[in-house]
Amino acid sequence: MNFTTDPTLVNLPLENLFRIFPNPASSVLTLEWKGGERSQLEIIGTQGNVVLSKTIDDLLTRLEIGHLPPGIYILRIQAGTLRGHKTFIKQ
């Protein structure tokens, strides 16, 4: 068998495959996902509780966060066995 891997993705940390903006955000957070596969997204609050969970597979995903109280949150993505996270501020 011969397997080919996209050389641009080899050893690339998952955090480099997505970005979130604007940061800080007040009502909508946009996720740009370059991972190319269906993945699981979670937003985690300061108490460690999951406040939003969603499956993503689009290049751009709008996340409605207006209902969340102001604070610091972690956005975590799991793609297969890989996990990455970024922090954002909800105003």
The pLDDT tens digits of the residues spanning 57-88 come to 889 999 999 999 999 999 999 988 888 999 99
Residue 3 has pLDDT above 50, yes or no: no
Q: What is the average per-residue pLDDT within 2-22?
A: 67
The pLDDT tens digits of the residues spanning 18-55 come to 999 999 999 999 999 988 788 999 999 999 999 999 99
3-class DSSP assignment, residue 15: helix
CA of 64: how far to CAs of 3, 25, 46, 53, 61, in Å?
A: 39, 10, 18, 12, 10
3-class DSSP assignment, residue 23: coil
